[in-house]
Amino acid sequence: MSFVGSYTHALDAKKRVFIPAKYRDELGDVFYITRKFDTYLSIYTADDWDAYIEKIEKLPESVAAEIQDFILGGAQKCTLDGSGRIIIEDRLLKHAKIDKNIVFVGVGRQIRVWAEELWDEHDGNRDFEKMRDVLREFGL
């Protein structure tokens, strides 16, 4: 399974947003959305979420608690309504600075969820030379 592509949808007055149709089948009946250290959210399938949690739980206890509080404590379990929408909780919207338009970006095993303005800024400020160097270094 691999999420690819980017899609823009608007948050409605009830804080609902359509999950892109191209992603719905792969996400399954239950999936998870959480905040990340940058100003975006990440969506994981239930299986990938479980694998992610297992990795976090293997961290040394001295650092695990704060990371668990932030990532796991900030997570939301999601199911689609009959129209293919979810409601995103206020704390997640605030973290990602989302107020209207949302860009869903498939990045392999997860979907990143950006405020459109922040995505446009991020996408427009890429360091292509640095990316080329990394790809060359790893033979890609």
| Rounded CA separation 72/50 (Å) | 11
**97, 115 contact by CB (below 8 A):** yes
6-137 under CATH 1.10.3720.10, yes or no: no
Q: What residues form DSSP beta bridges with 115?
A: 102
**46, 30 contact by CB (below 8 A):** yes
Write down the pLDDT at residue 61: 84
Confidence of residue 79 (pLDDT cuts 50, 70, 90): very high
Write down the pLDDT at residue 89: 95
Mean pLDDT for the chain overall:
93
pTM for the model: 0.90
Residue 106 has pLDDT above 90, yes or no: yes
The residues spanned by each domain of the chain are: 6-137
Averaged pLDDT, 102-125: 95
